[in-house]
Amino acid sequence: MKYKSTRGGADSRSAAQAVIQGISQDKGLFVPDAIPELPFSLEEMKDKTYQEIAYAVISSFFTDYTKEEVQTCVAGAYDEKFEASDIVPVVKGGDAYFLELYHGKTAAFKDMALSILPYLLTTAMKKEKEDKKIVILTATSGDTGKAALEGFADVTNTEIVVFYPNEGVSEVQERQMITQEGKNTHVYAIRGNFDDAQTGVKRIFNDSDFAEKLADLGCKLSSANSINIGRLVPQVAYYVYAYAKLLEKGAVQAGEKINVVVPTGNFGNILAAYYAKQMGIPVGRLICASNENKVLTDFINTGIYDIQREFYLTNSPSMDILISSNLERLLYHLSGENGAEIAALMESLDKNKKYQVSDKIKEGLAEFYGGFADVQETNETIGNMYRENGYLMDTHTAVAYKVYEDYKKATGDETVTVIASTASAYKFADSVAKSIGLPEEKDGFAYVAALHAKTGVRIPAGLKGLEDKEIRHRGVLDINQMQEAVRDALK
């Protein structure tokens, strides 16, 4: 299987090359030239472990990796680091099944991909005889940064630089990042929002002079954001696994459709669900849930993507995004792989801050449903779910559940539904605690303690004692200082 650029202007690559490179030279994203079929029947997958399914999915996409290579990557990634023995529990809450993707080291779903990406990348470097040091640049809305730092800390021949929006992440998220250990880790707050950070990172990638300077230093850039295909493919596995678990529970019969609801920011997670559907998992509607930054809701409803709008800081900060990078991949597939068309849309986004898709793409969007929830609705949803079912959701997951409730009301569709549950409630402890009726506390850490005292839900190991850890990263930068920061990190 080869990987091509969504903008049609570059040569194709093997999976290993695409993982190392991160983003294509023509600024497009790498996509597989065909979506592979599931390597087993729906009946056969019922009793498979997470590791078996991850192996099967990843090796179907990454055909240039040997069987042993993929097995080693999977075994290294999905082990006791996860605080759930089945890696991704599927739990009934209210009217839906929650796919709990947050039992890894940093308590967010980003661990699902970022526990394995360092293995996939170092394997790729060996395969491609890449002897340069790989410098991982990461823009984060809060969760990717910490998961990438954990994944790459002290990995030989790599350096990792993370940029997060100053005041755009929760107190717990920030503390997780700025206390990160590891000789090769670098963390900066930037004066701007996530889109600024992501645009800055893309700009560094596209600066060929800078790439030459780095090459002289024996270094090469790569990405841990979901623009890297090595992030996306491991995420497909958990949607396949979700279906296997529902079969096992008897919640569905083989072949019966499910709906999937994904709280969406950069469109990576929901794109992985789309790929799982293309592979043969029976999925009906892909429900894309947004917070007040509802550019995707509007896009799905109108075919017009318009970022000229107010930007809101919400209590689901990982979705405070207006430029959803991975949407480019979906548009490419829906356009019939028309790279020139996608390049024109992305240029329009750059220049005019909006674009309108063709009727063909718009028709393809019909399998998606878009909805959004505001902060107040999110908090009410957390409170109601806890009161009625004793189930605790984080703010992002609650956005998804609220949109699901609205979807059901609007359509009457009673299809068995899986909600991608993307973070531990403790990462957003202040909002969650207040939503279930707990009083004001002095800081985010006091909310963690209060939430635990009330609910008894286990605190993820990675979040314990965070307030007492040494702060190791204090840099705050302007957007135009990001490149300099990367150079400094390599000294």
| Footprint on this chain of ligand PLP (rule: CB under 6 A) | 108-110, 143, 226, 263-269, 318-319, 396, 422-423
Nearer CB in complex with ligand PLP: 16/149 = 149
Nearer CB in complex with ligand PLP: 48/427 = 427
CB of 143 to ligand PLP, least distance (A): 3
Nearer CB in complex with ligand PLP: 176/185 = 176
CB of 80 to ligand PLP, least distance (A): 22
Which amino acid type is present at position 110? Answer: K
> What Å distances lie between residue 82 and 78, 97, 485, CA to CA?
7, 20, 33
Round to whole Å and give the CA distance between 218 and 133. Answer: 6
Report DSSP state, residue 82: S
CB of 108 to ligand PLP, least distance (A): 4
- Under the phi-then-psi rule, with left for phi > 0, alpha for psi from -120 to 50, and beta for the rest, what region is 221? beta
Give yes or no for a contact between 212 and 339, defined as CB atoms under 8 angstroms apart: no
CB of 109 to ligand PLP, least distance (A): 6
Instruction: Please tell me the number of Cα atoms within 13 Å of 379 on its side-chain side.
Output: 14
SS3 377: helix
> What Å distances lie between residue 327 and 139, 204, 263, 405, CA to CA?
17, 21, 14, 24
Give yes or no for a contact between 169 and 141, defined as CB atoms under 8 angstroms apart: yes
Nearer CB in complex with ligand PLP: 105/220 = 105
CB of 319 to ligand PLP, least distance (A): 5
Nearer CB in complex with ligand PLP: 24/226 = 226
Alpha-helix runs per DSSP H in 128-267:
143-152, 171-178, 194-205, 208-216, 229-249
Nearer CB in complex with ligand PLP: 267/355 = 267
Nearer CB in complex with ligand PLP: 42/232 = 232
CB of 267 to ligand PLP, least distance (A): 5
CB of 97 to ligand PLP, least distance (A): 17
Round to whole Å and give the CA distance between 88 and 82. Answer: 9
